[in-house]
Structure 1
Amino acid sequence: MDPVLPTPQVLVADPSYGAGLDPAESETAAVDVTVEGVPWRPITPGGGEGGELAFIDGAQQIEAWLTVTTPGDPRALPGAAFAVAAGAVITARGRTADIVGLRVRRAVVTVGDRRLHLAPVGGYAWESRCEAAQEATGLARRVGEVRQQLELALAEEIAHRDRLVVLDGRLSFIRDAAGPVVGAIKSHHRMYLPPEEARVVVGLGVGQRTPLFAIGEDRLSWYQRLPGVGDHGWAGILRGEVARSLGAQEARHLADRAARELPYFAGRPHRDPRAPQNLAPVAGLEARLRHRMGDRRLALRAVRRAAAAARLDDATRVGVAVAEPDPLAA
Structure 2
Amino acid sequence: MRISVSAWDPGYADTGEKTGEAAQAKMDLDVEVPAVKWEPIGSDVPAPPRVLLVDGVRRLDARVDIAVEGQPPVPGICASYGAGVVECDPGGGSTATIPVSRIERGLFSAVPDAGLTAGRTAAYVAHRSRASEPGDLLNAVQDRLTALEIEVATEAEPGRDDLLVIDGALRRRTHLPRAVGFIKSHQRRYLPDHLSSIIDKLEPGQRTPVFVLGTSWQRHTWYLRLPGGGDGSWAGIARLEAADDLTIAEVVALADSASAVLPRLASVAHKDPRAPQNLTPIAGLERRLRAKLGDPRLLLRGLRTGARAF
User: TM-score of the superposition, structure 2-length normalised?
Assistant: 0.86
Does the CA contact (< 8 Å) of 1:67 and 1:78 recur in 2?
yes
Deviations 1:28-80 (A, max 9, x none): 7211111113422211122424421011111111111001223443x220101
Say yes or no: does 1:86 pair with 2:83: yes
CA distance in 1, matches of 2:21, 2:200: 19
Identity over aligned pairs, percent: 37
1:227 is aligned to 227
Structure 1 231/221 Cα, relative in aligned 2: closer, same or farther at 3 Å? farther
Pairing partner for 1:151 from 131, 146, 149: 149
Equivalent positions of 1:169-208 (< 5 A) are 169-174=168-173, 177=176, 179-208=177-206
The answer to whether the 8 Å contact 2:213/2:221 transfers is yes
Q: Deviation of residue 233 (structure 1)?
A: 0.9
Give the corresponding residue for 1:168. Answer: 167
Rg larger in structure? 1
Quote the residue 2:275 is aligned against: 275
Can you list the C-alpha shifts for 1:205-243, whole angstroms capped at 9, x where unaligned? 111000111122631000000011225411000000111
Q: Distance between the aligned counterparts of 1:49 and 1:138, measured in 2?
A: 41
Residues paired across the two proteins, number: 292
1:77 corresponding residue in structure 2 = 74
In structure 1, runs of 5+ residues without a counterpart are: 1-14, 311-330
Q: Secondary structure at the match of 2:79?
A: strand
1:215 counterpart residue number = 213
Q: CA–CA distance in 2 between the matches of 1:227 and 1:215?
A: 25
Instruction: Report what 2:26 is aligned to.
Output: 30
Unaligned stretches of 5+ residues in structure 2:
1-10
Normalising to structure 1: TM-score of the pair?
0.81
Distance change (3 Å), C-alpha of 1:49 and 1:237: closer
Q: 1:44 aligns with which of 32, 42, 45?
A: 42
Given that 1:27 and 1:191 are in contact with CA atoms closer than 8 Å, whether structure 2 keeps it comes out as no
1:277-323 Cα distance to aligned partner (Å, 9 max, x none): 1100000110000111111111111211221344xxxxxxxxxxxxx
* AA at the equivalent of 2:151: A
Q: How far apart in 2 are the matches of 1:126 and 1:49?
A: 42
Mapped to 2, the partners of 1:134 and 1:118 lie a distance apart of: 18
Is the 1:31–1:214 contact (alpha carbons within 8 Å) kept by the matching residues of 2?
Answer: yes
Tell me which amino acid in the other structure corresponds to 1:131: S
Q: Distance in 1 between matches of 2:134 and 2:200?
A: 36
Q: State the superposition RMSD in angstroms.
A: 2.5
Shift of the alpha carbon at 1:95? 4.6
Distance in 2 between residues matched to 1:294 and 1:23, nearest whole Å: 33
The 1-side partners of 2:47 and 2:70 are apart by: 68
**Against the structure 1 CA distance between its residues 16 and 142, is the aligned structure 2 distance closer, same or farther, given a 3 Å change threshold?**
closer
The CA distance in 2 between the partners of 1:117 and 1:17, in whole Å, is 25
Q: Which amino acid is the alignment partner of residue 303 of structure 1?
A: L
How far is 1:88 from its partner? 1.1
Checking the alignment, whether the CA contact within 8 Å between 1:28 and 1:193 is kept in structure 2 is no
Partners of 1:63 and 1:204 in 2: how far apart? 42
Task: For residues 123-174 of structure 1, give each alpha carbon's deviation from its aligned partner in whole angstroms, at most 9, with x where no partner exists.
Answer: 1112111124443322222212211111122122222212111110011223
SS at match of 1:143: helix
Contact 1:156 1:176 in 2 (8 A): no
2:123 partner SS: coil
CA distance in 2, matches of 1:122, 1:230: 49
Give, as a single letter, the amino acid of the residue that structure 1 aligns with 2:29. Answer: V
